[in-house]
Amino acid sequence: MTITQKIILFISTLSVLFITGCADPEVKGDRYSLDECREELLEAEDFSEGVSIDRIVIVKKERKMYLYKGKKVTSIIPVSLGKNPIGHKVQRGDNRTPEGEFWIHRKLCSPKYYRSLCISYPRPQDKAKAAARGVNPGGDITIHAQPTWNASGKGDDYTLSRNWTQGCVAVTNSAMQELWYAVREGVPVTIR
């Protein structure tokens, strides 16, 4: 491993430790392989052109995520949202999933949620509206997989039957596997 790769690995590890948007206490003995995930990112093996998508649309009312290639829906994935799913995210702690046009700005290997796709919230307009109200807009909004207690997927029916995040969009680990290799940074995300 080169010094540059070690630095990138160190910085990504620190980033994981400071994520708070949908944080739960870390569970020991989980089945997530952070090393495997990080190695994929370092070696750019986290994308497959054959399964790529170029747009994600999340319809909160339906609790579904639509994956598009061109104008064609290639997959529909059930999701869980923030505990308070009605309306746009206004401030940190409101447990709302933001609404609007975003993009995937980063992939993240997570000790808490297997793998995550970071969404570009807050946008400049979200920051300006929050500042005008004197509040923090929140942040660290992701599309993430399941918490470590559900690493096996045995609790998917339970987690998908309710909205439980702090504003993120949660999918099953198997759905995240599909998304992880289908998405590049920059893919647009519409949440409505």
pLDDT (tens digit per residue) in 71-127: 999 999 999 999 998 999 999 999 999 999 999 999 998 888 889 999 999 999 999
Domain that holds residue 134: 3-17+25-191
pLDDT reading at 168 higher than 90:
yes
Both tokens of residue 93?
A: 């702690």
At residue 59, what is the residue type? Answer: V
Name residue, tokens 């064609």: 72
3-state class of 14 per DSSP?
helix
Count structural domains, the chain: 1
Both tokens of residue 49?
A: 């052109």
- The answer to whether 167 and 94 are in contact (CB under 8 A) is yes
pTM for this model (two decimals): 0.80
C-alpha atoms less than 13 angstroms from C-alpha of 135 in its C-beta half-sphere: 14
Closest-CA residue to 106 (of 94, 115, 95): 115
- Whichever domain contains 30, its CATH number is 2.40.440.10
Chain Cα centroid distance, residue 1: 28
